[in-house]
Amino acid sequence: MTDATDPNEATDQAGAAPTAQHHSADVDRSGTPLCELRDIKVSFGGLHAVDGVTIDLFAGEVVALVGGNGAGKSTLMHTLSGAHPADAGTILINGEPAVIHNPRDARRFGVEVIYQKLALADNIDAGANVFLGRELRTLTGALDDEAMDAATKKLMQRLNPRFKNLKTPVQSLSGGQRQSVAIARAVHFNARILIMDEPTAALGPAETAEVRELINQLRSDGIGIFLISHDIHDVFDLADRISVMLQGKLVGTVDKDKVTKDEVLAMIIMGKQPGDVTNEEIAELH
């Protein structure tokens, strides 16, 4: 646990329970990865947006995908989510080759994207959103609101115990709570791999703390998360490993616990490997 007497921690978390710092070594990487992207290539005309990138993700792991604007992060994740298929390369899910042409294919392999602009129906409550388009019905075919509410309540108790607004239209929920609803929906329908693109970008400190706790809960449930983020603090708080992209290529994948923030910045900006970077170059970063 973080030190509750640390004044920075107290302000940052704004009443949230302190979250334990996660360590890369806590993840079991001895078996088959949940997901591997091998030698993925995507071109737009003559532009190699993703140029032979290989990354993987284990159950219960958060892999941050970082890099400057235009590095190819979103395009790489689009090949996994089915938004834009790869031109070349292989996707393996639990060690088996997976053909993903569209989001429906991706969902069948347990891949869900939590969009920054969350795709929720604003005027209905959390439960109705969790089950939207996949409603539970009674034997007579009527909507089984009671069953959907009970299932949502149970899900939320596990994912985000502070979520209390089960009957509120989601438009009046905070950004962090809306994200909880989107994640509950994905998890209820058996998502094993979540892609989160800048999940805390539009959130204040208390909501950011809530989303961080949510991510830690998902991790302990054995879900794997690809986290696209340009917030180096989020990355160091949440990720187990960090994969860095620059101009469509993978610079490298590092254990969060084995690098400094400056070394990761040098990877992002200069494409330098940790260890190859000089003190002068580090100074130039600041």
Ligand X SMILES: Nc1ncnc2c1ncn2[C@@H]1O[C@H](COP(=O)(O)OP(=O)(O)O)[C@@H](O)[C@H]1O
Q: How far apart are CA 171 and CA 118, in angstroms?
A: 11
Q: Give the SS3 label for residue 63.
A: strand
Spatial strand order of the sheet with 88-93 comes to: 47-57, 35-44, 88-93, 96-97
Q: Which stretch binds ligand X (CB under 6 A): 44-52, 144-152, 154-162, 265-273?
A: 44-52
| Residue 229 touches Mg ion, criterion: CB under 5 A | no
Q: Are 62 and 23 in contact (CB under 8 A)?
A: no
Q: Which stretch binds ligand X (CB under 6 A): 64-72, 88-96, 114-122, 125-133?
A: 64-72
Q: Which element (helix H / strand E) includes 53?
A: strand 47-57
Q: Say which amino acid occupies 201.
A: A
| Residue 74 touches Mg ion, criterion: CB under 5 A | yes
| Residue 157: CB minimum distance to ligand X, A | 35
| Residue 79 touches Mg ion, criterion: CB under 5 A | no
Q: Which residues are CB-contacts of 283 (< 8 A; sequence separation ≥ 6)?
A: none
Q: Are 222 and 33 in contact (CB under 8 A)?
A: no
| Residue 179 touches Mg ion, criterion: CB under 5 A | no
* Nearest C-alpha neighbor of 43 from the set 91, 100, 85: 85
Smaller CB distance to ligand X: residue 185 or 241? 241
Whole-number Cα distances in Å, 42 to 25, 39, 233: 32, 10, 29
Smaller CB distance to ligand X: residue 16 or 228? 228
Q: Say which amino acid occupies 105.
A: D
| Near ligand X by CB under 6 A: residue from 26, 44, 121, 284 | 44
| Residue 129 touches ligand X, criterion: CB under 6 A | no
Q: Which stretch binds ligand X (CB under 6 A): 42-50, 202-210, 257-265, 273-281?
A: 42-50
Q: How far apart are CA 70 and CA 68, in angstroms?
A: 6
Find which of ligand X, Mg ion, none residue 70 binds, CB within 5 to 8 Å per kind.
ligand X
Q: Which stretch binds Mg ion (CB under 5 A): 12-20, 38-46, 66-74, 234-242?
A: 66-74
| Residue 71 touches ligand X, criterion: CB under 6 A | yes
276 forms beta bridges with none
| Residue 175 touches ligand X, criterion: CB under 6 A | no
| Residue 279 touches ligand X, criterion: CB under 6 A | no
Q: Which residues bind ligand X (CB under 6 A)?
A: 44, 47, 49, 67, 69-75
Q: Which residues bind Mg ion (CB under 5 A)?
A: 74
